[in-house]
A and B are shown apart, each in its own frame.
Chain A
């Protein structure tokens, strides 16, 4: 009985609201919507690897490629390109080489691998690029790594791209389980992997549980919002994100004395 009640309570949050929809075509590649930041202070890198070849290296590597697609902060496509990949090696891609075509300083990108091994398709599975990107701040010699977060977008057989995020029926709160400690600048990045525009608020809450600040925005599909949070006070704080995203897990940038730490919630 207890289990039934538990399931009934959970139903409004889970019925027809998966974190990631199943793509409309079988055997297509899937990718995260990775965050890129390229401007005077920031640069972004991606480690491109032959993830298909980890499962199946029978196909000729020269016939394989990765298609990289770039969107600006409003989710508009501004560049796409095919990249060669190398068998069992990694290529560190400097994202700033691709962002000259936009005036945006940040946005999202995705990577689709050309080859999905048959043995994965037979399992009903999709190869997904959820790999590793890194950031530098003010040309630092060390890159700060973070792994991908979502299975956000698929490339269908006809070349169309299908967003795989879903919108929640009810408003959801995501509380970042990280203590904001100043003095530091925090920048909270949220991506919209759904096909609908999403209204979102980011609240800064003190240890006395008082709302200190609220920032509101609307994020277009494939778009990115970055909320700056300045914690000059030593008082510990936390962040709550409210939206109709099924899971609004942010990418968090912490800047202190020109050093950065990057992680996701």
Chain B
């Protein structure tokens, strides 16, 4: 069950373009006219509001301005497409109908300035609360003219607010924490990576022991004229076939223990 967030970042506006046709012709899927909904977590509940429909085989772009009057800034607006109406209030994230699996049914998740825009094809599913994050960032473009940000996306079934912290290291010296940042569930937390002293050849390591999510990286020229947006794969993507889950565990055990020993 996938949702499509509307991103946020400094000096940018977020937008998401939904599409109502499947990515493939080999999975049974329904592309009849659907309801478009926005959901968000607030005051201990999931709130959902219907914001119209999307035609069969159609697109619909939703800009942040369309939802910001009722979705609090501290929470992440989640779009969904459903064949039936969703409950306005629920104590757990509503089940959004599974659309396709290989590949997943995606939307364009984008950010724009007045001069340009960038996007990636994505979706987000709820993460387990008992999970951790380990990722390495290859996207930094250190320069006085470029700003580099990590956008940490998380959604969980529970709407109850909880926080964790992300630590940033240089894996050459894992004993030194270069930065610690609080992150919230059901949110997009934006972290500025420029003040951590990384150079072009560095390979930042990012950890969160209390929460997992999707790390998305935004680099942009400070005048807003050019942008780049991409996310990293989970560590399991460094291997193929076999027991990938155990491979990911090897990686996390190694690096979490190195940091703990420090």
Contacts and interface: CB of A to CB of B under 8 A. Distances in A.
Interface string A218-235: 000000000000000000
Nearest to A30: B240
A262 to B, nearest CB: 8
A178 interface: yes
B203 A90 contact: yes
Nearest to B201: A89
Nearest to A48: B138
Contacts of A24: none
Interface stretch (B42-50, B55-63, B158-166, B186-194): B55-63
B132 to A, nearest CB: 16
Interface stretch (B65-73, B86-94, B243-251): B243-251
A179 interface: yes
A263 B201 contact: no
Contacts of A54: 136, 171, 235, 238, 251, 255
A172 B103 CA distance: 13
Given A51-B238, A88-B171, A147 B116 contact: no
Which residue, of B220, B230, B233, has the highest number of chain A Cβ atoms within 10 A? Answer: B230
B146 interface: yes
Interface string A58-99: 000000000000000000000000000011111110000000
B200 A92 contact: yes
A259 B226 contact: yes
Contacts of B200: 92
Interface string A8-21: 01100100000110
B227 A6 contact: no
Given A175-B24, A256-B116, A55 B254 contact: yes
A244 interface: no
B240 A177 contact: no
B227 A22 contact: no
Contacts, number: 177
Interface stretch (B33-41, B105-113, B149-157, B177-185): B105-113
Interface string A129-171: 0111010000011111111000100000000000000000010
B246 A142 contact: no
Contact of B233 (A123, A147, A174, A179): A147
B232 interface: yes
A125 B244 contact: yes
Given A88-B171, A89-B201, A174-B23, A134 B228 contact: yes
A174 B23 CA distance: 5
Interface string A79-122: 00000001111111000000000000000000000000001100
Contact of B238 (A92, A123, A124, A128): A128
A179 B61 contact: yes
A247 B19 contact: no
Contact of A126 (B107, B120, B241, B246): B241
Interface in B19-38: 19, 21-28
Nearest to A164: B240
Contacts of B233: 130, 147
B128 to A, nearest CB: 22
Contact of B240 (A92, A125, A142, A147): A125
A173 interface: yes
A146 B231 CA distance: 8
A178 B226 CA distance: 20
Nearest to B249: A123
A261 B219 CA distance: 12
Given A90-B138, A175-B21, A178-B108, A146 B230 contact: yes
A185 to B, nearest CB: 14
Contacts of A142: 141, 146, 219-221, 226-228
B22 to A, nearest CB: 7
Contact of B24 (A141, A143, A173): A173
Q: What 3 A-B pairs are tightest by C-beta distance, nearest first?
A: A124-B242, A125-B242, A13-B26
